[in-house]
Amino acid sequence: MFLPIPFKRPFLILFVLTLHFTNLTAQQKKAFTVGEKLRYQVHYGFIRGGEAVLEVHEAEYNGKSINYLYLNGKTVGIANSLYNVDDTYKSFTDKETNLPYKSIRDIHENRYKHYSEQEFDHWLRKDSSICTSTITGKVVVAKGCQDILSSVYYLRTLMLDRKPKLDELFIVNTYFTDEKYPLVIRFKGYESISTKFGEVDCMKFMPEVLTGRVFKSKDDMSIWFSNDNNFIPIRIRFDIFIGSVYCDLIDYSGLLYPLTFKN
């Protein structure tokens, strides 16, 4: 996204981690609303390397009012001189089920550029969904398959009032980078995170990452979500060969519920 090339895919996992698809029924309770905006800063120690923004807008798709989800990540400062990343992800989702109708990837990383669109049909088949990509064509995917961005908001809604057990696993089937991409995330308990706004009570999760060039262990990434009805990402940490890289929430607006802080 907006980290050096080896970090791109692991970083995106942070925004994808969601529950296994359970049903297509309407959600009675919401975790977000139109107008929400979250801003993040990526840093290694005192070195600022990138920034990202997540936004929720309203749009129309085939005559129906839907959520238009927007994510942009880009490098800044020295990192921008070296990597020059400016990536945008868009997702158009159902307001009740949070299932995607359409997604867009618009990638600019140095000389590399990529643009693709995917359309999802969750209703034609009883046992599966269909994803039609401008790159791969029509692909049969798991029922209720998410795109990389819609997964974040689907997770936030499904986690409302849920009390996971320590080391409980959650799995999601996504279609990402034009391939089927199942993800696994493990709940690691409750922790408090210090932010510029105050102490936030959080739920900590660890996604399983691929070991090798960047990560030594499959548990080298951690994500902290606010332990409230918003369930927004507060901090992400990558433990890589050069040390720990952090992605921290630095600004927010338009939350459906007040963000709660510890006394």
Q: What are the structural domains of the chain?
A: 5-253 (2.40.360)
Question: Which regions of 62-156 does DSSP assign to beta strands (E)?
Answer: 64-75, 86-93, 100-109, 112-121, 128-133, 137-142
Residue 23 sits at φ, ψ, to 5 deg, of -160, 175
Q: Strand, coil or helix: what is 195?
A: strand
pLDDT tens by residue, 184-225: 888 999 999 999 999 999 999 988 766 665 666 667 789 999
Residue 263: band (very low, low, confident or very high) from pLDDT cuts 50, 70, 90 = low
Question: What is residue 76's predicted lDDT score, i.e. its pLDDT?
Answer: 92
Q: Strand, coil or helix: what is 238?
A: strand
Most confidently predicted of 68-77, 154-163, 166-175: 68-77
Question: What is residue 119's predicted lDDT score, i.e. its pLDDT?
Answer: 97
Residue 10 pLDDT more than 60? Answer: no
pLDDT tens by residue, 40-79: 999 888 888 899 999 999 999 999 999 999 999 999 988 8
Top pLDDT among 16 and 183 is at: 183
pLDDT tens by residue, 68-100: 999 999 999 888 888 899 999 999 999 999 999
Question: What is residue 24's predicted lDDT score, i.e. its pLDDT?
Answer: 36
Residue 22 sits at φ, ψ, to 5 deg, of -110, -50
